[in-house]
Structure 1
């Protein structure tokens, strides 16, 4: 109807997800809209750094509350990802809202779930405040927005050492706090990058459905010790092109 899906529509979707016989809990990322996409008219001076992601959702309860209520009512083992987080206060507000909505459902005698909260590491603030963020989030996710805000462009070569070392730092910081880190940047579409991502220590790779079988096979065939050596070498190159070429040449060596 041109607007956001209603609570009942979302509930049907989430119940279908909960019914899947999956090995892992389904992960639901909350909408990562900017103000123009939501309002449809007004624009901000700098939309990329304005009201978007969780900032927008917290300022638009008519958008956020149906999403969270539907998740709670579906009562599945959901993991929920918060996009564009810059402050632990935003995480606390979402968790408080989840609790308040859950109590409302309980008062009405309705069953409700307890989604596990994770964060998209879109902004450097998540890494800078990792010790604080880890107190309130259970898992983290590196996506394409992280590329934009680390490298300052959408067109960055993801074999650039600056980006890969940022990924390594994110993984190391979160692992110290025993938190898992997933990755879904466009690097997961490049076979030569899979051993590099494994070597950097990512716990999970989020890949398009069409690439799932091939990626799963490559992960199974990758020697993790060798992948760590390859990742260390790849991050030592100054030129992204050289790093990519080395990763491609090393692909055969890391496979069982």
Structure 2
């Protein structure tokens, strides 16, 4: 999909600095407004994603950078382009949640520049006929508002499974494959079969393959429609299916979709772009709004997961050469304990008197000592159940020591996979490594599952791996006691896990960890599952 807005060049300006600054301010403000309007129209996770981008467009530090560049002679167009690029590099360097948002800033800049130049905003081409959309990548604002009557599937050559494109596509129920480099060879008019479940793109498939895919889709839809209630295996073994959320709006949507609670409440949106941390009262008000959607259900809150970036200067230190491996997550919070204490206090206040079963967890825990520090501090401040996230390989390897120092553990498969392979999950060039099916990742999950069972500590999965129905079965076989995912994936996962007993899930898990690659693990499990699963793969 071609980009209609070319990058501006650094040409001499003809307007005064005041005029250019006014143009830039208007363009960024209008872009923020448009992003919020799109988000409100789309709802769900899209609303919080686009609101976060709007906040970045309005960030005071960005405005200052733009103004300084204009005062040095840049046009509004080039000042926005250069300032946003610098902002993007800053976020990409710090990693984590905000690092993942770096790639989205290019779209914000292009929309503002298009407005300055009187051009249409970049977007998806229109078509009178249904089509498969193939693009280098797709901006969150476009993914969130795709016309599902015309867009049958989405394929991108860049991005990874944790990009906003992938997350929003899953939430909207779009058949999507991201990071498919071979898709660059496709041309308009090609007949393509997109199998998102197996991650394959087949050019000019024979009619029998098409017929089988249509049949399988109909069968899966029937199974999904018949699936309801709490998650469980075929033998009745309970597997609560929880939702990943980031705002009160996505909490309401998750509850409406039948989530049995929340396995990951990301609190970062509350802090984005802030010059100082929100007050205890401000935080508590938002938390109460979320908790009210889940009476007598579990809500697991992740405390602020951030790193070294300018919008969170009140928390993190500037000047780290590699902040993705520096003070981020619990490390950053421990270095500025007042921020952590305020958030834990706000969470305890919000939980008090409510009906939700509030649990709190720390991100990026590396050692048993860090786990014990967080649990003890959380208990001191009124949090009854405090756990840790397993995202760093050392935490999984030392699970037999970490787990006894936590009330529960939750495995973040996105970051765990990234750190296992030393492959930045934001880079399309290494997207092939971002596959939680790899036995290297599964063996670490297995270690945590074994430690949890031995010590009687619950083990949850809150990475997007849980949204893969067949992988969800394997994760349960590895010892996961709960699964948390985008709320739109719950029905598919519920239907899939209900077809297997716990013994069968464990047998499939054993097959997966014995393989030598992600592809071999998935293929071997799929083949074994075909003998048990009434739904045949295309």
Q: Same fold (TM over 0.5)?
A: yes
| 1:145 Cα deviation after fit | 1.4
User: Could you tell me which residue of structure 2 aligns to residue 67 of structure 1?
Assistant: 343
Decide which moves more: 188-197 or 78-87: 188-197
Q: Distance in 1 between matches of 2:404 and 2:519?
A: 38
1:172 equivalenced with 2:463 (yes/no)? no
User: Could you tell me which residue of structure 2 aligns to residue 32 of structure 1?
Assistant: 305
User: Could you tell me which residue of structure 2 aligns to residue 12 of structure 1?
Assistant: 285
Report the 3-state secondary structure (helix = DSSP H, G, I; strand = E; otherwise coil) of the residue aligned with 1:135. helix
Pick one of 445, 454, 460 that aligns with 1:182.
460
Which of the pair is proportionally richer in helix? 1
Pick one of 500, 508, 513 that aligns with 1:222.
500
Q: Distance in 2 between matches of 1:241 and 1:99?
A: 43
The aligned length equals 245
| 1:73 Cα deviation after fit | 0.9
| 1:22 Cα deviation after fit | 4.4
Decide which moves more: 84-93 or 9-18: 84-93
1:42 equivalenced with 2:318 (yes/no)? yes
Q: Distance in 2 between matches of 1:249 and 1:23?
A: 40
| Contact residue 196 and residue 230 of structure 1 kept, 8 A | yes
CA RMSD of aligned residues (A): 2.5
User: Could you tell me which residue of structure 2 aligns to residue 149 of structure 1?
Assistant: 419
User: Could you tell me which residue of structure 1 aligns to residue 440 of structure 2?
Assistant: 162
Q: Distance in 2 between matches of 1:92 and 1:228?
A: 31
| Contact residue 197 and residue 231 of structure 1 kept, 8 A | yes
Inter-CA distance 22–250: structure 2 relative to 1 (3 Å threshold): farther
| Contact residue 365 and residue 390 of structure 2 kept, 8 A | yes
Report the 3-state secondary structure (helix = DSSP H, G, I; strand = E; otherwise coil) of the residue aligned with 1:192. helix
Decide which moves more: 140-149 or 218-227: 218-227
| Contact residue 298 and residue 358 of structure 2 kept, 8 A | yes
Report the 3-state secondary structure (helix = DSSP H, G, I; strand = E; otherwise coil) of the residue aligned with 1:35. coil
| 1:91 Cα deviation after fit | 3.5
1:89 equivalenced with 2:359 (yes/no)? no
User: Could you tell me which residue of structure 2 aligns to residue 205 of structure 1?
Assistant: 483
1:89-128 aligned within 5 A: 89-98=369-378, 102=381, 113-128=382-397
| 1:211 Cα deviation after fit | 0.9
Pick one of 511, 525, 529 that aligns with 1:247.
525
What TM-score, normalized by structure 2, do the two folds share?
Answer: 0.42
| 1:62 Cα deviation after fit | 4.4
User: Could you tell me which residue of structure 2 aligns to residue 110 of structure 1?
Assistant: none
Inter-CA distance 9–146: structure 2 relative to 1 (3 Å threshold): same
Q: Distance in 2 between matches of 1:159 and 1:36?
A: 32
What TM-score, normalized by structure 1, do the two folds share?
Answer: 0.84
Report the 3-state secondary structure (helix = DSSP H, G, I; strand = E; otherwise coil) of the residue aligned with 1:221. coil
Structure 2 residue ranges without an equivalent (≥5): 1-54, 56-272, 426-430
